[in-house]
């Protein structure tokens, strides 16, 4: 029996144990894969690609229908076949996530905080705006003021433009000048962002993939197996990133486990790149045939995949 026997079954059991939905897995597949290979995919290929993870045809059809309804996917019909692609808003949303998922090294911090004060946001947009800020790593240090330790405003500015809220909020840049204030802020960070829970999510990720990596021979995986493992690996990491406020090392616990998880992701992803590309470019189809080769942007992930 080979070292990789029952590989597909192991991944399917992992997906069931972690309650992964077909809809969520489809978003990962579009973001990590389809977006880098022309953007469009035939529904039949989507069904085939998600089947090894335990999702049947009905589940996939329901998932893409709901993603179209929620404006994550757009559909194009040619004859009796349906093809799907990220909407423009979904592309923007996933691109903001990609900046954090596929980085090569954690960015340096200049000690500045971004503060966001909602001034005149329409009532019907307040809850959505709050969710978007939380997803981008902001939190409320005090009533009504959102904060994040970063001077990079790109994602925030894009959100304000998309939501047409640029004139409804005030944005400040702030620093903490004394050691006492820094100690108070570090305590607030641990409380508000629940660092202990986030640490456990990363530890669970490491525990599972370290064991799996020892149990299988990554170099001997088939094209299909490489695609499966790359997709599940990235999906598990993306789920944690949705919870991670992306805080600088200066205010995280020493020996932050998230950096270990990112390093493992990067090393495994690079190993799985070629077999997974072989599967994607020969087994999945759009309206013109097999999916095209990966974009140059794909090969820049993690600081360079070659």
The total of structural domains in the chain comes to 2
pLDDT at 249: 85
Residue 140's pLDDT is 84
Asked if 155 and 96 touch (Cβ cutoff 8 Å), the reply is yes
Q: Which long-range contacts (CB under 8 A, 24 or more apart) does 154-161 make?
A: 154/99, 155/96, 155/99, 156/114, 156/116, 158/92, 158/96, 159/132, 159/133
Q: Would you state the pLDDT for residue 144? A: 80
53 three-class SS: helix
CB contact set of 154 (below 8 Å; sequence gap of 6+): 99
Kindly state whether residues 84 and 200 are assigned to the same domain.
yes
127/253 same-domain check = no
Tell me: do 228 and 126 sit in the same domain: no
Q: Which domain holds residue 254?
A: 7-104+193-303
Residues 118 and 232 in one domain: no
Structure tokens at 268: 């495994």
pLDDT tens string, the chain, 306 residues long: the values are 356 667 878 888 898 888 899 999 999 999 999 999 999 999 999 999 999 999 999 999 999 999 999 999 999 999 999 999 999 999 998 988 898 899 888 778 888 888 888 888 888 888 888 888 888 888 887 778 888 887 678 888 888 888 888 888 898 888 877 666 777 777 777 778 888 899 999 999 999 999 999 888 898 999 999 999 999 999 999 999 988 888 888 888 889 999 999 999 999 999 999 999 999 999 999 999 999 999 999 999 999 987
Which of 128, 145, 175 is the last residue before a domain boundary? Answer: 175
Count of H helices and E strands in the chain?
A: 11, 9
Return the pLDDT at 1. 36
pTM listed for this prediction: 0.88
Boundary (domain end) residue, out of 125, 141, 175: 175
Does residue 219 belong to any structural domain of this protein? yes
């Amino acid at each position: 029996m080979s070292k990789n026997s029952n590989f597909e079954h192991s991944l399917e059991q992992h997906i069931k144990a972690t309650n992964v939905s077909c809809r969520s897995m489809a978003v990962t597949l579009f973001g990590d894969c389809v977006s880098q290979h022309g953007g469009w995919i035939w529904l039949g290929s989507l069904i085939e690609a998600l089947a090894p993870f335990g999702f049947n045809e009905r589940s996939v059809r329901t998932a893409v229908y709901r993603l179209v309804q929620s404006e994550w996917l757009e559909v194009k019909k040619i004859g009796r076949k349906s093809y799907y692609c990220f909407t423009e808003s979904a592309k923007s949303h996933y691109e903001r996530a990609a900046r954090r998922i596929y980085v090569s090294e954690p960015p340096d911090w200049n000690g500045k905080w971004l503060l966001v004060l909602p001034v005149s946001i329409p009532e019907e947009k307040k809850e959505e705006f709050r969710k978007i800020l939380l997803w981008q790593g902001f939190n409320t240090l005090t009533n009504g003021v959102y904060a994040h330790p970063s001077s990079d405003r790109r994602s925030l500015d894009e959100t304000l433009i998309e939501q047409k809220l640029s004139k409804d909020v005030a944005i400040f840049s702030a620093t903490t000048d004394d050691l006492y204030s820094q100690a108070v802020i570090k305590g607030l960070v641990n409380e508000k962002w629940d660092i202990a829970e986030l640490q456990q999510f990363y530890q669970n990720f490491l525990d599972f993939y370290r064991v799996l990596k020892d149990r299988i021979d990554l170099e001997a995986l088939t094209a299909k197996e490489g695609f499966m493992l790359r997709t599940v690996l990235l999906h598990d990491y993306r789920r944690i990133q949705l919870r991670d406020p992306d805080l600088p090392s200066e205010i995280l616990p020493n020996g932050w486990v998230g950096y270990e998880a990112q390093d493992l992701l990067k090393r495994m992803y690079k190993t799985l790149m070629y077999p997974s590309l072989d599967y994607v470019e020969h087994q999945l189809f759009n309206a013109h045939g097999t999916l095209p080769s990966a974009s140059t942007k794909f090969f820049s992930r993690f600081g360079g995949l070659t």
